């Protein structure tokens, strides 16, 4: 099928590449000339396992194209995916300017039937606004003498559907190729049935063994995306809050996690206590849903707490370090493993490492950092974070190896659970560190074992097992 993807960010690029891999003829539009040039010269602007191979294979055989040509992109695809960014506004609501600009362009140039797919995470009701924007452009193309009802007969037809993505960074290709569900919101009347038939055809390869598509109305599909992310964020904040209490009452949050996760009504996933969630989705989507509710005079009390707990949780490591070393950290030196908001990505958006670094450097410490892939992104992001206090960055050192970062540190702090940090040679770690102290923000190690091999160990919600 002929597909256009508008926006070659994280979601657009993965969607475009994977649909090409399935045999579709995919045209990716991005207005960022530099990004398109990078993609056309074989580069990949993001780190995502497996993506580079799929992009280069499909580009080579002409099934995946990148361009800045808006008219050509509209002409190409019968299905037009809108996968542009929806950054939070100042008040936390999703900024739809890029989504609506994409819709207007479609309306301006379309000459035949189009299915427009909202892939970006957008507030409930956005599909109606996308339809409205397209309709306005189509009407503007008619001679002024013709009344708006002429639009129905003469203008090209379209249908807007909602098809939210559930891709995890670091596993996005796998998630796209082996989805546990495909949610599609589609109108029942009007052009809805034609759209449904085309979407059925597009996703047929995923439904061969069993049906994975959940069809629903457009608003419910838009809502489903927010509900899923809000539920996952809630589980994490819930466990983080309990972990902090476990530290006080002398319980082990990992034992509790097993104990409750074995109840099939609860399940094991997304119950890991840590130093807070980050990334491009959870923080933004929780805020946007709260904002949507507020615009309908409803306060989402649970989500407000989820957000607050997470903001506090990003300070948990700093608090533990201050408790151990005192509020004035000048003269102290720390090693920090992990900068990305989670493993297998170089994404630093809302990463807990940024909060910890601000705290350590702000209190006078020096810090040596390591991350297997996020180093150059970290340089960029931290330059911005510390733009008003660049002198603090003089106490920050970027290290090429994780062991190098440990050199002469008073303690090691772990923020991201990269595989390479899971079972280091602890003898070597002890030799490099000035003192054998570890603050583990992702509960990678067993406290009792760490104590046995001579480390002073601080996890999250596990202090009952650790010797202070």
Instruction: Just list the catalytic residues.
Output: 281
- Sign of the four-CA dihedral 27, 28, 32, 38: negative
- What CA–CA distance (Å, rounded) separates 28 from 3? 8
List the x/- string, 162-201, binding to ligand UDX by CB under 6 A.
---xxxxx--------------------------------
> Per rule CB under 6 A, is residue 238 in the interface with ligand UDX?
no
Euclidean distance between CA atoms 72 and 109, whole angstroms: 9
Write the DSSP string, 191-232.
THHHHHHHHHHHHGGGGSSS--EEEE-HHHHHHHHHHHHHHH
- Whether the CB-CB separation of 121 and 166 falls below 8 Å is answered with no
Helix (H) / strand (E) containing 114: strand 114-118
* Residue nearer to ligand UDX on the CB measure, 165 or 359: 165
**8 A C-beta contact, residue 81 and residue 119:** yes
Among 282, 325, 418, 445, binds ligand UDX (CB under 6 A): 282
Least separation, in Å, of the C-beta of 291 and ligand UDX?
18
- CA distances (Å), origin 198, targets 16, 82, 159: 17, 16, 11
Counting contacts by CB under 6 A, is residue 236 touching ligand UDX? yes
Half-sphere exposure in the Cβ direction for 452 (13 Å, CA): 6
Which residue in the set 271, 414, 429, 437 belongs to the binding site for ligand UDX (CB under 6 A)?
271
Given 66, 272, 457, 458, the residue binding ligand UDX (CB under 6 A):
272
Gap between the Cα atoms of 396 and 339, Å rounded = 13
Binding of residue 418 to ligand UDX (CB under 6 A): no
Q: Which is nearer to ligand UDX, 272 or 457 (CB)?
A: 272
Place of tokens 């992702």: 442
Tokens of 126: 């956005």
Does 277 bind ligand UDX (CB under 6 A)? Our answer is: yes
**Is 461 an interacting residue with respect to ligand UDX (CB under 6 A)?**
no
- Taking the least distance from each CB to ligand UDX, the nearer of 27 and 282 is 282
Q: Which is nearer to ligand UDX, 192 or 338 (CB)?
A: 338
279 binds ligand UDX (CB under 6 A): yes
Please say whether the dihedral angle defined by the alpha carbons of residues 227, 229, 230 and 232, taken in this order, is positive or negative.
positive
Shortest distance, position 273 Cβ to ligand UDX, whole Å: 7
C-alpha–C-alpha distance, residues 299 and 289, integer Å:
10
Q: Is 136 annotated as a binding residue?
A: no
Name the nearest CA neighbour of 366 among 412, 332, 405, 408: 332
Cα–Cα dist 369/217, whole Å: 48
- Which stretch, 103-111, 151-159, 272-280, 392-400, contacts ligand UDX (CB under 6 A)? 272-280
338 known member of a binding site: no
Query: Interface residues for ligand UDX in 6-25 (CB under 6 A)?
Result: none
Helices (H), 110-154: 126-141, 150-154
**Nearer residue to ligand UDX within complex by CB, 365 or 460:** 460
Rounded Cα gap, residues 255 and 113, in angstroms = 56
Beta carbons within 8 Å of 351's beta carbon, 6+ residues apart: 278, 279, 339, 340, 341, 415, 416
> Is 278 labelled as part of a ligand binding site?
yes
Does 284 appear as a known binding residue?
A: yes
342 binds ligand UDX per the rule CB under 6 A = yes
What CA–CA distance (Å, rounded) separates 167 from 16? 13
> Contact between 274 and ligand UDX (CB under 6 A)?
yes
> Binding residue per annotation — 168?
yes
Exactly one of 281, 316, 329, 429 binds ligand UDX (CB under 6 A); that residue is 281
Min dist CB 167 to ligand UDX, Å, is 5
The answer to whether 94 and 88 are in contact (CB under 8 A) is: yes
Nearer to ligand UDX, 342 or 370 (CB): 342
CB atoms within 10 A of CB 291: 17
Residue whose tokens read 């419910």: 220
Q: Which is nearer to ligand UDX, 166 or 215 (CB)?
A: 166
Beta strands 64-67; 25-29: pairing state: parallel
103 annotated as belonging to a binding site for a ligand = no
Q: Scanning residues 213 to 232, which ones bind ligand UDX (CB under 6 A)?
A: 229, 232
Which of 16-24, 137-145, 271-279, 383-391 is the region at the interface with ligand UDX (rule: CB under 6 A)?
271-279
271 annotated to bind ligand? yes
Does 107 interact with ligand UDX (rule: CB under 6 A)? Answer: no
- Cβ of residue 395: shortest distance to ligand UDX, in angstroms? 26
Q: At CA 236, angle to CA 309 and CA 82, rounded to 5? A: 100
We find the least distance from the C-beta atom of residue 10 to ligand UDX, in angstroms, to be: 9
Q: Please check if 8 is assigned to a binding site.
A: no
Give the residue ranges of the annotated binding site for NAD(+): 30, 35, 86, 121, 169, 284, 349
- What residues line the site for ligand UDX (CB under 6 A)? 165-169, 229, 232, 236, 270-272, 274, 277-279, 281-282, 341-342
Give the residue ranges of the annotated binding site for substrate: 166-169, 225, 270-274, 278, 342
């Amino acid at each position: 099928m002929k597909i256009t993807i508008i926006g070659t960010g994280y979601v657009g690029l993965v969607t475009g590449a994977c649909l090409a891999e399935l045999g579709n003829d995919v045209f990716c539009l991005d207005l960022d000339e530099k990004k398109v040039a990078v993609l056309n010269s074989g580069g990949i602007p993001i780190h995502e396992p497996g993506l580079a191979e799929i992009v280069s294979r499909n580009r080579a055989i002409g099934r995946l194209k990148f361009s800045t040509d808006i008219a050509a992109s509209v002409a190409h695809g019968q299905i037009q995916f809108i996968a542009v960014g929806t950054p939070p506004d100042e008040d936390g609501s999703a900024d739809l300017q890029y989504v609506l600009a994409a819709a207007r362009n479609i309306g301006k140039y379309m000459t035949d039937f189009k299915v427009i797919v909202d892939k970006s995470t957008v507030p409930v009701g956005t599909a109606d606004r996308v339809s409205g924007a397209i309709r306005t452009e189509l009407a503007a193309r008619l001679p002024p003498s013709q009344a708006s009802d002429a639009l129905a007969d003469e203008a090209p037809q379209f249908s807007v559907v909602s098809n939210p993505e559930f891709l995890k960074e670091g596993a996005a290709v796998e998630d796209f190729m082996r989805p546990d569900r495909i949610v599609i919101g589609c109108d029942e009347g009007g052009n809805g049935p034609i759209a449904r038939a085309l979407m059925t055809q597009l996703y047929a390869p995923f439904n061969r063994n069993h049906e994975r598509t959940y069809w629903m109305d457009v608003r419910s599909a838009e809502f489903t995306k927010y509900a899923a992310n809000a539920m996952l964020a809630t589980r994490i904040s819930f466990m983080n809050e309990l972990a902090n209490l476990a530290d006080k009452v002398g319980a082990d949050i990992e034992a509790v996690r097993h104990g409750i996760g074995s109840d099939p009504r609860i399940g094991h996933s997304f119950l890991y206590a840590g130093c807070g969630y980050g990334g491009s989705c959870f923080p933004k989507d929780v805020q946007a849903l709260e904002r949507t509710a507020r615009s309908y005079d409803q306060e989402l009390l649970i989500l407000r707490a989820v957000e607050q707990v997470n903001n506090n949780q990003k300070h948990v490591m700093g608090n533990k370090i201050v408790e151990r070393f005192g509020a004035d950290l000048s003269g102290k030196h720390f090693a920090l493993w992990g900068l990305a908001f989670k493993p297998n990505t170089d994404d630093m958006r809302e990463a807990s490492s940024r909060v910890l670094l601000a705290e350590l450097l702000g209190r006078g410490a020096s810090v040596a950092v390591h991350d297997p892939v996020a180093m150059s992104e970290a340089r960029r992001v931290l330059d911005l974070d510390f733009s008003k206090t660049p002198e603090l960055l003089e106490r920050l050192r970027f290290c090429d190896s994780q062991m190098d970062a440990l050199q002469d540190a008073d303690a090691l702090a772990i923020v991201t659970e990269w595989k390479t940090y899971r079972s280091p040679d602890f003898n070597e770690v002890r030799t490099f560190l000035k003192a054998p102290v570890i603050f583990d923000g992702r509960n990678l190690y067993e406290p009792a074992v760490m104590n046995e091999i001579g480390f002073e160990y601080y996890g999250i919600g596990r202090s009952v097992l650790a010797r202070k």
